[in-house]
């Protein structure tokens, strides 16, 4: 069987005919395999979902217990139709996994979903999985993206908090994964006091704590007067009236996009923090070299840059042009 | 260089003036000489380095990065220096002193420059690489004026801004004597000829407040809608300064040529054609130019209307009463048709003056100035000796069209409003205002925007055209850049007309008829 007979893009997402399932489908399907809990990869309304225990629990928190007909926890090798699948840590967010699809005869394909190789205290580290076809994201697929050490970015935050002690620092971070990582990094950077969190983060932070991840003292940022200098909120909150309770805030945003100044300016950010849960250029190119797949498939992002690099390196590559995935999903 | 790069980055993203001042002050306080002096010069535009061309930089990166990957990256980032700073592979371990980078750009010969720049980039981290490239291309763009730099210096120590302004133009980077003075050392001596002297400013007044003063204690002049300048000829060195001490000589060679005197005078810069004074818009076209074309000098001739003498033929006049300075001024023959003396207005009572103010002989007059006859010339804005009694602002009723979120204290509030006037059945945007309302009114406006949004474009919202804003403004210029053909000066929201239907807002033609 050829690789594109095992897995190929459709309008609903990546489809596996011999297993009769979709990976991260963008619309409801009878059988879905989900890499991680971000909204554009994990949607509700499927007939059945196979994912890691944590991804299933996160989906239940976000969509309610009835988010799917039936659910199955991914553990070890699982037979689905005529293929064998297994889930391996992707280092992106809590519960995130790469999915390996192995036919009885033919090439092994690894769908990495979103992945990251920088140390992340809130999830298990990425694990390289040998394969014939590697399916990668290219969110930061340009050589300008070389994410700095996230702790050095936190030093910029603590320096600003010291320089402007009277101003609350509001850091935008996506509710699932990034927010908890920023809180955890802030603790590593020596911020011991209470950190205030926007209401939209409460249940997901509680879940991380249940899973044994230390986040330290958190208080809700819902009262008229919030007694914390550091406040974490989803970026969308900065356009809402919620932000009006803070006097002269320093608005920050934790994202890999903050590498590019024009992007930071577009968001009206005063303190851009380059903290990303995706592979940057050195990581994605290193991963491809390490795995040395006979073919690279690129799902979404800046695929032109990565395509060009593959051409220069002599690695067969093709873009899947999947629709429905965001630049950097929530 | 790390501290300098960090400062540049913070300044580039910080909109609020006070926050910018604090960032700069902290940097100057914590950075040793001479680096802080070089940084100050770079930020105020006083550092003259060998300008590195974009072409040279492109050549450097072409040797290191695939052409297509560079093109894709540049397309994404949108700024050449930033793209190169991000693409360059270096260890970034060194904290190179800023003075070393400045010396490299000052001293390296043309042939050696590409290799020297490459070697420097190899030693720097990404943020420092960008700072270095901005320094090399002479393009800081962090929104910090020389005036603000002087305020930050004043906040550091004893001398006030006026003291610093007075000696600023005699100083050169890296300003060691200036920092010594700010930190308690001796005041640096005037080093250069034709220095700038701190300007005396006025406070606003109205007819009610004037009733408490004796009209006989004051003299009155027209307040012209030009630019306040200080013109100096000191032993043949000629300078034209704005009221904040920026040297604007380069844009006005015609005025400079006419400064055939020995002294420093205070006056209004105007574009004049014969006896006619041209509107402010004509003067604006002469501003901010490095060079002026002959055609522009002919079509927009500039001149000076003098109202005070600060230094005259070697004598410091500033401590003399205004009446004596004025008498000396009236005796001067400037010997040029570009320079004349601002006449005094005849009046006996405040009501006489009110009548003159209500019907000025030129549309370029924006009110009257009152100066106490016994007052010395004091830099800054002392309350009492000088008053400005401006004409009433012009007013139109406009319709709110767009709103944008503010920064700093207004984070989260829609506080910047674009408004329009009727042209047929269309509303044409005519201006933007972001002040004039109280905090409570801001909350009401914010609520109106949120409940009447029709479209969103990033931080901007388009609103249903139904709220009428009374907009007050100080003047009007013709403008080819605006769709409406006019640009307002100092527009602000003077009233919110919750009561008035949008259909009854003013016509664009009504506004156009207000052009001078």
For the stretch B161-173, pLDDT in tens is 888 888 887 788 9
Q: Is the dihedral of CA A23, A27, A31, A34 positive or negative?
A: positive
Tokens matching residue B3? 């501290």
Of A229-233, B242-246, B469-473, the poorest mean pLDDT is in B242-246
The CA distance from B65 to A214, in Å, is 42
Q: Which residue has the higher pLDDT, B192 or B67?
A: B67
Q: Is A246 on the interface with B (CB under 8 A)?
A: yes
Q: What angle do CA A100, A103, A109 make, to 5 degrees?
A: 35
The CA distance from B77 to B126, in Å, is 14
> What is the residue-averaged pLDDT of chain B?
91
The CA distance from A31 to A219, in Å, is 39
The answer to whether residue A328 scores a pLDDT higher than 70 is no
B223 flagged as catalytic: yes
User: Beta strands A295-301 and A317-319: pairing type?
Assistant: parallel
What are phi and psi for residue A223, nearest 5 degrees? -70, 165
Q: pLDDT over 90 for what percent of chain B?
A: 69
pLDDT for the residue B408 = 67
In angstroms, the Cα distances linking A272 to A156, A159, A257 are 9, 13, 9
Residue A281 contacts residue A200 (beta carbons within 8 Å): no
Q: To which residue do tokens 């659910």 refer?
A: A71
Q: pLDDT over 90 for what percent of chain A?
A: 88
Nearest residue of A to residue B12, measured between CA atoms: A270
Q: How confident is the model at residue A202 (pLDDT cuts 50, 70, 90)?
A: very high
Of A10-24, A71-85, A316-330, B95-109, the poorest mean pLDDT is in A316-330
Q: How confident is the model at residue B289 (pLDDT cuts 50, 70, 90)?
A: confident
Q: Is B72 on the interface with A (CB under 8 A)?
A: yes
Whether B87 and A144 lie within 8 Å, measured CB to CB: yes
Catalytic residue among B223, B390, B466, B483: B223
B408-427: per-residue pLDDT in tens? 667 778 999 999 999 999 99
The answer to whether residue A327 scores a pLDDT higher than 60 is no
pLDDT for the residue B301 = 95
Q: Which of A242, A206, A207 is nearest to A226 (CA)?
A: A242
Q: How confident is the model at residue A264 (pLDDT cuts 50, 70, 90)?
A: confident
Residue A89 contacts residue A123 (beta carbons within 8 Å): yes
Residue B233 contacts residue B224 (beta carbons within 8 Å): no
pLDDT for the residue B390 = 92
Q: Is B460 on the interface with A (CB under 8 A)?
A: no
* DSSP assignments along A27-41, one per residue: S--SEEE-S--STTT
Q: Which residue has the higher pLDDT, B91 or A188?
A: A188
User: Beta strands B203-204 and B386-390: pairing type?
Assistant: parallel
Q: Which residue has the higher pLDDT, B247 or B180?
A: B180
pLDDT for the residue A330 = 35
Element holding A162 (H helix, E strand): helix A150-163
The answer to whether residue A218 scores a pLDDT higher than 70 is yes
Average of pLDDT values for B305-313? 96
Average of pLDDT values for A209-213? 97
B-facing residues of A in 29-68 (CB < 8 A) are none
Q: How confident is the model at residue A223 (pLDDT cuts 50, 70, 90)?
A: confident
Q: What angle do CA A264, A144, A173 make, to 5 degrees?
A: 35
CB-CB neighbors (< 8 A) of B412 in chain A: 238-244, 246
Average of pLDDT values for A106-126? 96
Whether A163 and B26 lie within 8 Å, measured CB to CB: yes
B346-404: per-residue pLDDT in tens? 999 999 999 999 999 998 999 999 999 999 999 888 888 999 999 888 999 999 999 99
pLDDT for the residue A323 = 65
DSSP-derived secondary structure letter, B63: T
The answer to whether residue B126 scores a pLDDT higher than 80 is yes
The CA distance from B336 to B301, in Å, is 13
- Among A19-28, B166-175, B279-288, which range has the highest average pLDDT? A19-28
Average of pLDDT values for A115-131? 96
Q: How confident is the model at residue B191 (pLDDT cuts 50, 70, 90)?
A: low
pTM: 0.82
């Amino acid at each position: 069987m050829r690789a594109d007979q095992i897995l190929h893009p459709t309008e609903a997402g990546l489809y596996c005919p011999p297993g009769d399932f979709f990976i991260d489908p963008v619309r409801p399907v009878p059988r879905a395999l989900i890499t991680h809990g971000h909204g554009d990869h994990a949607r509700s309304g499927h007939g059945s979902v196979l994912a890691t225990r944590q991804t299933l629990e996160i989906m239940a928190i976000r969509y309610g217990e009835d988010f799917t007909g039936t659910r199955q926890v991914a553990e070890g090798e699982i037979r689905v139709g005529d293929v064998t699948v297994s889930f391996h840590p992707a280092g992106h967010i809590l519960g995130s996994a790469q999915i390996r699809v192995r036919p009885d005869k033919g090439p092994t394909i690894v769908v990495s979903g979103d992945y990251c190789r920088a140390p992340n205290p809130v999830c298990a580290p990425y694990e390289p999985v040998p394969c014939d076809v590697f399916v990668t994201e290219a969110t930061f697929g340009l050589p300008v993206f070389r994410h700095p050490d996230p702790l050095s970015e936190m030093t910029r935050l603590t320096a600003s908090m010291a320089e402007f002690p009277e101003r609350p620092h509001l850091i935008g971070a996506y509710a699932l994964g990034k927010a908890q990582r920023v809180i955890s990094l802030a603790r590593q950077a020596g911020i011991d006091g209470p950190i205030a969190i926007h209401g939209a983060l409460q249940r997901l932070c509680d879940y991380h704590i249940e899973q044994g991840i230390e986040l330290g003292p958190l208080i809700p940022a819902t009262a008229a007067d919030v007694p914390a200098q550091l406040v974490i909120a989803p970026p969308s909150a900065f356009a809402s009236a919620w932000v009006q309770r803070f006097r002269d805030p320093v608005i920050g945003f934790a994202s890999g996009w903050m590498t590019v100044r024009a992007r930071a300016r577009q968001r009206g950010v005063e303190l851009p923090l380059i903290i990303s849960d995706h592979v940057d250029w050195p990581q994605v190119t290193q991963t491809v070299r390490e795995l040395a797949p006979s073919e690279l498939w690129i799902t979404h992002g800046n695929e032109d840059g990565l395509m060009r690099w593959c051409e220069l390196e002599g690695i067969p590559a093709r873009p899947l042009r999947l629709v429905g995935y965001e630049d950097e999903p929530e | 260089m790390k501290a300098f790069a960090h400062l540049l980055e913070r300044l580039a993203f910080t909109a609020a003036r006070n926050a910018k001042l604090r960032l700069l002050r902290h940097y100057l306080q914590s950075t040793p000489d001479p680096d802080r002096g070089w940084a100050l010069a770079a930020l105020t535009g006083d550092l003259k380095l060998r300008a590195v061309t974009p072409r040279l930089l492109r050549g450097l990166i072409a040797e290191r990065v695939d052409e297509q990957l560079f093109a894709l990256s540049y397309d994404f980032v949108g700024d050449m220096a930033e793209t190169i700073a991000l693409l360059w592979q270096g260890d970034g371990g060194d904290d190179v002193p800023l003075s070393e980078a400045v010396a490299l750009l000052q001293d390296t010969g043309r042939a050696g420059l590409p290799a020297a720049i490459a070697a420097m980039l190899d030693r720097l981290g990404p943020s420092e690489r960008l700072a270095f490239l901005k320094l090399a291309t002479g393009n800081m763009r962090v929104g910090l004026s020389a005036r603000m730099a002087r305020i930050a210096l004043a906040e550091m120590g004893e001398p006030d801004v006026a003291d610093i302004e007075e000696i600023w133009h005699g100083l050169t980077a890296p300003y060691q004597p200036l920092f010594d003075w700010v930190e308690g050392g001796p005041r640096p001596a005037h080093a250069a000829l034709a220095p700038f002297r701190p300007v005396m400013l006025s406070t606003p007044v109205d007819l009610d407040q004037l009733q408490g003063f004796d009209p006989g204690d004051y003299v009155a002049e027209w307040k012209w809608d030009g630019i306040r300048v200080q013109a100096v000829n000191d032993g043949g060195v000629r300078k034209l300064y704005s009221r904040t001490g920026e040297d604007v000589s380069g844009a006005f060679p015609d005025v400079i040529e006419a400064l055939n005197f020995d002294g420093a005078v205070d006056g209004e810069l105007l574009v004049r054609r014969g006896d006619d004074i041209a509107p402010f818009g004509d003067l604006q076209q002469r501003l901010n130019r490095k060079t002026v074309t002959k055609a522009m000098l002919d079509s927009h001739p500039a001149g000076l209307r003098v109202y005070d003498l600060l230094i005259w033929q070697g004598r410091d006049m500033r401590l003399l009463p205004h009446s004596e300075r004025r008498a000396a001024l009236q005796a001067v023959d400037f010997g040029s048709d570009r320079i004349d003396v601002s006449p005094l207005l005849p009046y006996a009572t405040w009501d006489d003056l009110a009548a003159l103010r209500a019907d000025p002989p030129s549309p370029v007059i924006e009110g009257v100035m009152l100066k106490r006859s016994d007052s010395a010339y004091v830099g800054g804005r002392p309350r009492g000796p000088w008053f400005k009694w401006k004409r009433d602002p012009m007013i139109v009723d406009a319709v709110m069209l767009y709103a944008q979120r503010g920064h700093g204290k207004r984070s989260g509030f829609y506080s910047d409003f674009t408004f329009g006037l009727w042209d047929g059945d269309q509303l044409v945007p005519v201006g933007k205002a972001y002040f004039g309302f109280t905090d409570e009114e801001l909350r009401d406006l914010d609520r109106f925007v949120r409940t009447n949004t029709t479209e969103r474009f990033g931080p901007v919202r388009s609103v249903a055209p139904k709220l009428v804003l009374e907009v007050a403004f100080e003047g009007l210029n013709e403008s080819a850049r605006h769709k409406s053909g006019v640009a307002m000066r100092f527009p602000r929201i003077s009233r919110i007309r919750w009561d008035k239907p949008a259909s009854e807002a003013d016509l664009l033609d009504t506004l156009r008829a207000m052009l001078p």
